[in-house]
Structure 1
Amino acid sequence: MNTYKLTLLALLAALAVVGRSLFVFLPNVQPVTSLVIICGLLLGPVAAAILGLLTTFLSNMLLGMGIWTIWQVIAWVLIGVLSGLIGKCFKKIPVYAIVLFAVFSGYLYGFIISLTTYSIAGKFWPYYLTGLPFDTNHALGNAVFIILLYPIISHFFIKYANNRFYLQNIS
């Protein structure tokens, strides 16, 4: 991983942490999942996994650590790896397909987070079913953030890829 890619990850992590902090007043609506998906699609599964891990720990330093932190890392790393694999398999993905994956990821994240309660109390279904409205908030928020952020971030990443290719061929 080169310095420029690390810089992009640091910027995405900062954007995710600030976004998560700014939207803390809306239950389960934050741009982290969408940014992890975008990172996976454009930079690959390893970069998205690093972003998920980094964002979880940095934002939880502000919002509070707990047993849920482990499950958040698992959820965001899994979503990042899945989106990275999708990005490697398909070069041209329509935005509506990315939005559908983001909605699915909101529910997947909620399912994985619900495993926290199961690991502590042994009760999964009551907690999961009670959390479905929050998972819906997360899924819809992901869709909105993908629609808003994906065109902008992909434009700059494509510009980076073209400049990188150009600079490598000059040297």
Structure 2
Amino acid sequence: MNLYKLTLISLLAALATVGRFLFSFYPNVQPVTAIIIICGIWLGPLYSVVLAVVTTVLSNLLLGMGIWTLPQIVSWSLIGLLAGWLGKYRHVIPTYIYAAFAGVSGYFFGFMMAVTYGQVGNHFFAYWLSSLPFDTYHAVGNVVFMIVLYPVLSRLFKQYENKNIQSFKQPNQSLN
């Protein structure tokens, strides 16, 4: 990981954390998932996992840590890994496919949280059914954030890529 990408991940984590805090009064509506997906598309799966971990820890320091922190990290990391795989084809996949992926990711995130709470309280099915409206808020919020943020952040990533083409081609540089 080079210094440019480390700085970029830090800025994206700050953006996601502030966005999560600003939208905390809406249930499950947050830009975190969309930002992790965009990071995975442009920087790859490793960087999206790093972003997922940093964003979860930072935002939970503001909003509260609990038994949900680890499942959030795992869920957002898996979403970022899938987005990194999709990013290999970013030149041929249209934006609406990414928006649909973001919507499905909202339901996936909720399912993973239900699996975790089901292990703790043995009420998976009841928890999962009761969380479906909130998962829908998350999914719709993800689609909206993806439609709004993807063009803006993609333009910034393209500028970054053009200026720092060496750092994109050499992913295993050390911090010198």
Same fold (TM over 0.5): yes
Residues 166 and 47 of structure 1, relative CA distance in 2, 3 Å threshold: closer
Whether 2:7 is the aligned partner of 1:10: answer no
1:17-46 residue CA offsets vs partner (Å, 9 max, x unmatched) = 000000000000000000000000000000
In structure 2, how many angstroms separate the alpha carbons of the residues matched to 1:20 and 1:167?
A: 29
Q: Secondary structure at the match of 1:92?
A: coil
Displacement of 1:166 in angstroms is 8.1
Residues 14 and 167 of structure 1, relative CA distance in 2, 3 Å threshold: closer
**Structure 2 portions without partners, runs of 5+:** 169-176
The one of the two structures with greater contact order (alpha-carbon pairs below 8 A, sep at least 6) is 2
In structure 1, how many angstroms separate the alpha carbons of the residues matched to 2:167 and 2:154?
A: 20
In structure 1, how many angstroms separate the alpha carbons of the residues matched to 2:153 and 2:117?
A: 35
In structure 1, how many angstroms separate the alpha carbons of the residues matched to 2:155 and 2:86?
A: 19
Alignment TM-score, normalising by the size of structure 1: 0.95
Higher helix share: 1
Displacement of 1:127 in angstroms is 0.4
Whether 2:61 is the aligned partner of 1:64: answer no
* Counterpart in the other structure of 1:52: 52
CA RMSD of aligned residues (A): 1.5
Give the count of matched residue pairs.
168
Q: Report runs of 4+ in structure 1 exceeding 3 Å deviation.
A: none
How many percent of aligned residue pairs carry the same amino acid?
A: 53
33-42 vs 83-92, which deviates more? 83-92
1:85-122 residue CA offsets vs partner (Å, 9 max, x unmatched) = 11124533201000000000000000001122112111
Whether 2:124 is the aligned partner of 1:139: answer no
Residues 123 and 59 of structure 1, relative CA distance in 2, 3 Å threshold: same
* Counterpart in the other structure of 1:81: 81
For residues 17-36 of structure 1, what are the structure 2 equivalents within 5 Å? Answer: 17-36=17-36
Alignment TM-score, normalising by the size of structure 2: 0.92
Displacement of 1:164 in angstroms is 1.6
Q: Conserved in 1, the CA contact under 8 Å of 2:2 and 2:167?
A: no
Residues 117 and 90 of structure 1, relative CA distance in 2, 3 Å threshold: same
Displacement of 1:165 in angstroms is 2.8
**Structure 1 portions without partners, runs of 5+:** none
46-55 vs 91-100, which deviates more? 91-100
